[in-house]
Protein backbone atom coordinates (compact mmCIF):
# COMPACT_ATOMS: atom_id res chain seq x y z
CA UNK A 1 0.00 0.00 0.00
CA UNK A 2 2.80 2.32 1.03
CA UNK A 3 4.74 1.45 -2.13
CA UNK A 4 1.67 2.30 -4.19
CA UNK A 5 1.43 5.69 -2.51
CA UNK A 6 5.12 6.40 -3.18
CA UNK A 7 4.69 5.39 -6.83
CA UNK A 8 1.69 7.70 -7.15
CA UNK A 9 3.64 10.63 -5.73
CA UNK A 10 6.54 9.95 -8.13
CA UNK A 11 4.10 9.76 -11.04
CA UNK A 12 2.58 13.09 -10.08
CA UNK A 13 6.03 14.68 -9.82
CA UNK A 14 7.09 13.31 -13.20
CA UNK A 15 3.80 13.95 -14.99
CA UNK A 16 2.18 17.02 -13.44
CA UNK A 17 -0.28 17.18 -16.35
CA UNK A 18 -2.00 14.16 -14.82
CA UNK A 19 -3.35 16.25 -11.99
CA UNK A 20 -4.56 19.10 -14.16
CA UNK A 21 -8.17 19.10 -15.21
CA UNK A 22 -8.77 17.80 -18.73
CA UNK A 23 -8.55 20.67 -21.21
CA UNK A 24 -11.98 21.89 -22.25
CA UNK A 25 -13.41 19.97 -25.17
CA UNK A 26 -14.69 21.99 -28.14
CA UNK A 27 -18.42 22.73 -27.94
CA UNK A 28 -19.00 21.15 -31.34
CA UNK A 29 -16.96 19.19 -33.84
CA UNK A 30 -17.99 17.71 -37.17
CA UNK A 31 -16.46 14.50 -38.42
CA UNK A 32 -16.88 13.96 -42.15
CA UNK A 33 -17.77 10.33 -42.84
CA UNK A 34 -18.38 10.88 -46.52
CA UNK A 35 -17.53 13.89 -48.68
CA UNK A 36 -18.80 12.49 -51.95
CA UNK A 37 -22.11 12.04 -53.73
CA UNK A 38 -23.67 9.32 -55.85
CA UNK A 39 -20.64 8.66 -58.09
CA UNK A 40 -18.10 6.09 -56.92
CA UNK A 41 -14.65 7.66 -57.16
CA UNK A 42 -13.07 7.07 -53.76
CA UNK A 43 -15.18 9.27 -51.51
CA UNK A 44 -17.96 7.81 -49.37
CA UNK A 45 -21.47 9.15 -49.98
CA UNK A 46 -22.63 12.06 -47.83
CA UNK A 47 -22.46 11.59 -44.06
CA UNK A 48 -21.31 13.38 -40.91
CA UNK A 49 -21.12 12.79 -37.19
CA UNK A 50 -21.53 15.80 -34.90
CA UNK A 51 -19.50 15.57 -31.70
CA UNK A 52 -20.85 17.51 -28.72
CA UNK A 53 -18.22 18.33 -26.09
CA UNK A 54 -16.16 15.33 -27.10
CA UNK A 55 -19.07 12.89 -27.40
CA UNK A 56 -20.45 11.78 -30.79
CA UNK A 57 -24.20 12.47 -30.56
CA UNK A 58 -25.71 13.15 -33.99
CA UNK A 59 -25.58 11.41 -37.35
CA UNK A 60 -26.31 13.71 -40.29
CA UNK A 61 -27.05 11.55 -43.34
CA UNK A 62 -25.71 8.04 -43.82
CA UNK A 63 -24.43 7.68 -47.36
CA UNK A 64 -22.74 4.48 -48.57
CA UNK A 65 -19.39 4.16 -46.79
CA UNK A 66 -20.51 5.66 -43.46
CA UNK A 67 -20.25 2.24 -41.79
CA UNK A 68 -16.68 1.78 -43.04
CA UNK A 69 -15.55 5.27 -42.03
CA UNK A 70 -17.00 4.93 -38.52
CA UNK A 71 -14.82 1.87 -38.05
CA UNK A 72 -11.72 3.46 -39.57
CA UNK A 73 -12.10 6.44 -37.25
CA UNK A 74 -12.84 4.22 -34.26
CA UNK A 75 -15.73 6.56 -33.42
CA UNK A 76 -17.64 5.71 -30.29
CA UNK A 77 -21.33 5.49 -31.18
CA UNK A 78 -22.57 4.76 -27.66
CA UNK A 79 -24.25 8.13 -27.19
CA UNK A 80 -25.53 8.70 -30.72
CA UNK A 81 -29.27 9.16 -30.28
CA UNK A 82 -30.19 11.65 -33.00
CA UNK A 83 -30.32 11.07 -36.74
CA UNK A 84 -30.92 13.94 -39.16
CA UNK A 85 -31.64 12.98 -42.75
CA UNK A 86 -31.49 15.81 -45.28
CA UNK A 87 -33.26 13.70 -47.93
CA UNK A 88 -33.69 10.12 -48.97
CA UNK A 89 -31.49 9.73 -52.03
CA UNK A 90 -29.32 6.63 -51.77
CA UNK A 91 -26.08 8.62 -51.50
CA UNK A 92 -27.45 10.09 -48.22
CA UNK A 93 -29.30 7.17 -46.71
CA UNK A 94 -27.95 3.92 -48.17
CA UNK A 95 -25.95 3.04 -45.03
CA UNK A 96 -28.63 3.89 -42.47
CA UNK A 97 -29.45 0.27 -41.65
CA UNK A 98 -25.72 -0.52 -41.43
CA UNK A 99 -25.28 2.41 -39.04
CA UNK A 100 -28.12 1.14 -36.80
CA UNK A 101 -26.38 -2.22 -36.83
CA UNK A 102 -23.00 -0.72 -35.86
CA UNK A 103 -24.57 1.37 -33.10
CA UNK A 104 -26.51 -1.58 -31.66
CA UNK A 105 -23.33 -3.58 -31.27
CA UNK A 106 -21.74 -0.86 -29.13
CA UNK A 107 -24.46 -0.92 -26.50
CA UNK A 108 -25.99 -3.42 -24.09
CA UNK A 109 -28.78 -1.17 -22.94
CA UNK A 110 -31.83 -0.05 -24.87
CA UNK A 111 -31.31 2.53 -27.60
CA UNK A 112 -33.82 5.31 -28.14
CA UNK A 113 -33.36 7.17 -31.40
CA UNK A 114 -34.99 10.37 -32.46
CA UNK A 115 -34.93 10.51 -36.24
CA UNK A 116 -35.84 13.46 -38.43
CA UNK A 117 -36.20 13.71 -42.17
CA UNK A 118 -38.45 15.08 -44.89
CA UNK A 119 -42.07 14.24 -45.48
CA UNK A 120 -42.77 12.17 -48.60
CA UNK A 121 -43.77 13.15 -52.12
CA UNK A 122 -43.86 11.44 -55.51
CA UNK A 123 -41.45 8.51 -55.60
CA UNK A 124 -40.06 9.34 -52.16
CA UNK A 125 -41.65 7.91 -49.00
CA UNK A 126 -41.91 10.05 -45.89
CA UNK A 127 -39.01 9.41 -43.53
CA UNK A 128 -41.12 7.47 -41.00
CA UNK A 129 -42.17 5.07 -43.75
CA UNK A 130 -38.61 4.81 -45.04
CA UNK A 131 -37.37 3.80 -41.58
CA UNK A 132 -40.28 1.40 -41.23
CA UNK A 133 -39.49 -0.22 -44.58
CA UNK A 134 -35.94 -0.77 -43.34
CA UNK A 135 -36.22 -1.85 -39.71
CA UNK A 136 -39.92 -1.72 -38.77
CA UNK A 137 -42.13 -4.77 -38.25
CA UNK A 138 -42.28 -6.44 -41.64
CA UNK A 139 -39.38 -4.29 -42.87
CA UNK A 140 -36.44 -5.68 -44.82
CA UNK A 141 -34.27 -5.77 -41.67
CA UNK A 142 -36.97 -6.22 -39.02
CA UNK A 143 -34.49 -8.31 -37.01
CA UNK A 144 -32.34 -5.21 -36.42
CA UNK A 145 -34.53 -3.80 -33.62
CA UNK A 146 -33.52 -6.57 -31.28
CA UNK A 147 -30.08 -7.41 -32.69
CA UNK A 148 -27.43 -6.43 -30.16
CA UNK A 149 -29.67 -4.05 -28.25
CA UNK A 150 -33.34 -3.20 -28.04
CA UNK A 151 -34.06 -0.19 -30.20
CA UNK A 152 -36.95 2.18 -30.24
CA UNK A 153 -37.30 4.83 -32.87
CA UNK A 154 -39.27 8.06 -32.79
CA UNK A 155 -39.42 9.41 -36.32
CA UNK A 156 -40.68 12.87 -37.22
CA UNK A 157 -41.51 13.83 -40.79
CA UNK A 158 -40.62 17.46 -41.51
CA UNK A 159 -42.49 19.88 -43.77
CA UNK A 160 -41.15 20.12 -47.31
CA UNK A 161 -42.69 23.19 -48.89
CA UNK A 162 -40.39 26.18 -49.20
CA UNK A 163 -42.85 28.44 -47.37
CA UNK A 164 -42.74 26.26 -44.22
CA UNK A 165 -41.43 28.04 -41.14
CA UNK A 166 -38.02 27.37 -39.65
CA UNK A 167 -38.64 25.00 -36.74
CA UNK A 168 -36.80 23.95 -33.60
CA UNK A 169 -36.88 20.15 -33.42
CA UNK A 170 -34.46 19.47 -30.54
CA UNK A 171 -34.07 21.66 -27.46
CA UNK A 172 -32.23 20.18 -24.52
CA UNK A 173 -32.93 23.16 -22.24
CA UNK A 174 -29.81 25.32 -22.42
CA UNK A 175 -27.87 22.59 -24.20
CA UNK A 176 -28.13 21.15 -27.67
CA UNK A 177 -30.51 22.80 -30.13
CA UNK A 178 -31.38 21.55 -33.60
CA UNK A 179 -33.43 23.58 -36.06
CA UNK A 180 -34.54 22.82 -39.58
CA UNK A 181 -36.03 24.41 -42.65
CA UNK A 182 -37.37 23.00 -45.91
CA UNK A 183 -35.12 23.28 -48.95
CA UNK A 184 -35.60 22.18 -52.57
CA UNK A 185 -33.76 19.43 -54.41
CA UNK A 186 -35.53 18.84 -57.72
CA UNK A 187 -38.29 16.29 -57.17
CA UNK A 188 -36.76 14.94 -53.94
CA UNK A 189 -38.13 16.36 -50.64
CA UNK A 190 -35.26 17.87 -48.65
CA UNK A 191 -34.44 19.85 -45.50
CA UNK A 192 -31.43 21.66 -44.03
CA UNK A 193 -30.34 21.55 -40.37
CA UNK A 194 -28.77 23.99 -37.91
CA UNK A 195 -27.10 22.56 -34.79
CA UNK A 196 -26.11 24.82 -31.88
CA UNK A 197 -24.42 24.15 -28.58
CA UNK A 198 -22.87 26.61 -26.12
CA UNK A 199 -22.62 29.40 -28.68
CA UNK A 200 -21.16 27.24 -31.47
CA UNK A 201 -23.26 26.67 -34.58
CA UNK A 202 -22.97 24.50 -37.68
CA UNK A 203 -25.41 24.34 -40.58
CA UNK A 204 -25.82 21.51 -43.11
CA UNK A 205 -27.32 22.52 -46.45
CA UNK A 206 -27.92 18.99 -47.67
CA UNK A 207 -28.43 18.79 -51.43
CA UNK A 208 -30.42 21.76 -52.69
CA UNK A 209 -30.93 23.77 -55.84
CA UNK A 210 -30.66 27.55 -55.91
CA UNK A 211 -34.41 28.08 -55.40
CA UNK A 212 -33.88 27.17 -51.72
CA UNK A 213 -31.10 29.68 -51.09
CA UNK A 214 -33.38 32.21 -49.29
CA UNK A 215 -34.44 29.51 -46.81
CA UNK A 216 -30.89 28.38 -46.26
CA UNK A 217 -29.70 31.96 -45.73
CA UNK A 218 -32.37 32.36 -43.07
CA UNK A 219 -31.34 29.14 -41.31
CA UNK A 220 -27.60 29.79 -41.54
CA UNK A 221 -27.57 33.39 -40.22
CA UNK A 222 -24.26 34.07 -38.40
CA UNK A 223 -23.34 30.37 -38.16
CA UNK A 224 -19.73 29.50 -37.36
CA UNK A 225 -19.62 26.92 -40.13
CA UNK A 226 -21.81 26.30 -43.16
CA UNK A 227 -21.34 22.91 -44.79
CA UNK A 228 -22.61 23.39 -48.32
CA UNK A 229 -22.96 20.52 -50.74
CA UNK A 230 -21.07 21.50 -53.87
CA UNK A 231 -21.92 19.06 -56.65
CA UNK A 232 -21.76 21.28 -59.75
CA UNK A 233 -19.56 23.88 -61.41
CA UNK A 234 -20.91 27.26 -62.43
CA UNK A 235 -23.06 27.03 -65.58
CA UNK A 236 -22.43 25.82 -68.18
CA UNK A 237 -19.67 23.67 -66.62
CA UNK A 238 -21.93 20.80 -65.52
CA UNK A 239 -24.79 18.95 -67.26
CA UNK A 240 -27.74 21.38 -67.41
CA UNK A 241 -30.21 19.08 -65.63
CA UNK A 242 -28.02 19.11 -62.51
CA UNK A 243 -28.83 22.79 -61.90
CA UNK A 244 -32.36 21.69 -61.06
CA UNK A 245 -30.84 19.72 -58.19
CA UNK A 246 -27.76 21.60 -57.01
CA UNK A 247 -26.51 25.12 -56.26
CA UNK A 248 -23.47 26.31 -58.26
CA UNK A 249 -20.39 27.81 -56.53
CA UNK A 250 -21.19 31.44 -57.40
CA UNK A 251 -24.53 31.19 -55.62
CA UNK A 252 -22.96 29.28 -52.73
CA UNK A 253 -20.61 32.25 -52.25
CA UNK A 254 -23.53 34.68 -52.33
CA UNK A 255 -25.45 32.59 -49.80
CA UNK A 256 -22.41 32.49 -47.49
CA UNK A 257 -22.04 36.27 -47.73
CA UNK A 258 -25.71 36.97 -47.18
CA UNK A 259 -26.01 34.64 -44.19
CA UNK A 260 -22.79 36.06 -42.70
CA UNK A 261 -21.40 32.65 -41.86
CA UNK A 262 -17.82 32.62 -40.63
CA UNK A 263 -16.52 29.63 -42.59
CA UNK A 264 -17.55 27.47 -45.48
CA UNK A 265 -16.86 23.76 -45.93
CA UNK A 266 -17.67 22.32 -49.35
CA UNK A 267 -18.72 18.70 -49.36
CA UNK A 268 -20.66 16.23 -51.55
CA UNK A 269 -17.92 16.84 -54.12
CA UNK A 270 -18.27 15.52 -57.65
CA UNK A 271 -15.28 14.49 -59.81
CA UNK A 272 -15.50 17.63 -61.99
CA UNK A 273 -15.74 19.88 -58.91
CA UNK A 274 -12.79 18.10 -57.32
CA UNK A 275 -10.76 18.72 -60.48
CA UNK A 276 -11.65 22.44 -60.63
CA UNK A 277 -10.89 23.47 -57.07
CA UNK A 278 -9.21 26.73 -58.12
CA UNK A 279 -12.15 27.86 -60.26
CA UNK A 280 -14.63 26.94 -57.52
CA UNK A 281 -12.66 28.96 -54.95
CA UNK A 282 -12.47 31.99 -57.26
CA UNK A 283 -16.18 31.82 -57.92
CA UNK A 284 -17.01 31.74 -54.21
CA UNK A 285 -14.40 34.37 -53.42
CA UNK A 286 -16.23 36.81 -55.73
CA UNK A 287 -18.69 37.32 -52.86
CA UNK A 288 -17.51 35.50 -49.74
CA UNK A 289 -14.24 36.57 -48.10
CA UNK A 290 -14.13 34.03 -45.25
CA UNK A 291 -12.22 30.74 -45.18
CA UNK A 292 -13.33 28.10 -47.69
CA UNK A 293 -12.27 24.46 -47.28
CA UNK A 294 -12.91 21.35 -49.33
CA UNK A 295 -14.05 18.36 -47.30
CA UNK A 296 -12.39 14.99 -47.35
CA UNK A 297 -13.48 11.74 -45.75
CA UNK A 298 -12.43 11.51 -42.09
CA UNK A 299 -11.79 15.27 -41.80
CA UNK A 300 -12.52 16.57 -38.28
CA UNK A 301 -13.52 20.22 -37.98
CA UNK A 302 -13.75 22.12 -34.69
CA UNK A 303 -16.54 24.63 -34.23
CA UNK A 304 -16.40 27.07 -31.35
CA UNK A 305 -13.90 27.08 -28.50
ZN1 LIG B 1 -26.56 13.69 -52.98
Torsion of CA 103, 104, 110, 116, to 10 degrees: 50
Using the predicted structure, report yes or no on whether residue 305 has a pLDDT greater than 80: no
Mean pLDDT of 132-152: 94
pLDDT score of 22: 61
Residue 19 has pLDDT above 70, yes or no: no
Supply φ then ψ for residue 185, to 5 degrees. Answer: -140, 70
The rounded distance, in Å, linking the Cα atoms of 285 and 252 is: 10
Q: Alpha carbon of 88 to those of 70, 110, 132, 135, 296: distances in Å?
A: 20, 26, 13, 15, 22
CA of 152 to the centre of ligand 1 (A): 28
pLDDT digits (tens, 9 = 90+) for 100-134: 999 999 887 899 999 999 999 999 999 999 999 99
Q: How far is the CA of 275 from the centre of ligand 1 (A)?
A: 18
The distance of Cα 25 from the centroid of its chain, to the nearest Å, equals 20
Tens digit of pLDDT for each residue in 169-207?
999 987 999 999 999 999 999 999 999 999 999 999 999
How far does the centroid of ligand 1 lie from the alpha carbon of residue 89, in Å? 6
Length in residues, the chain:
305
**CA 117 – ligand 1 centroid, Å:** 14
Question: Given pLDDT bands bounded at 50, 70 and 90, which one contains residue 15?
Answer: low
- pTM here is 0.92
Helix (H, G, I), strand (E, B) or coil at 37: coil
Rounded-to-integer distance, Cα 271 and Cα 20, Å = 47
What is the distance in A from the centroid of ligand 1 to the CA of 241? 14
Q: Ligand 1 centre from 110 Cα, in Å?
A: 32
Peptide bond into 236 cis (omega under 30): yes
Amino acid sequence: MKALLVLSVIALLLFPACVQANPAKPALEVVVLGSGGPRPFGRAGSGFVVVVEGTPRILVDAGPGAFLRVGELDLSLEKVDTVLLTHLHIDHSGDLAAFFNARALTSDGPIVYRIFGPDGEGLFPKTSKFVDLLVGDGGAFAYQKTFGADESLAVRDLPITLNSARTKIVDEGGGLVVEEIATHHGDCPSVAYRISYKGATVVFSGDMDASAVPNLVQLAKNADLLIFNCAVLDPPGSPSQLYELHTPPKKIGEAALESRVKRLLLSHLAPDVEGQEGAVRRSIRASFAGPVEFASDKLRVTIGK
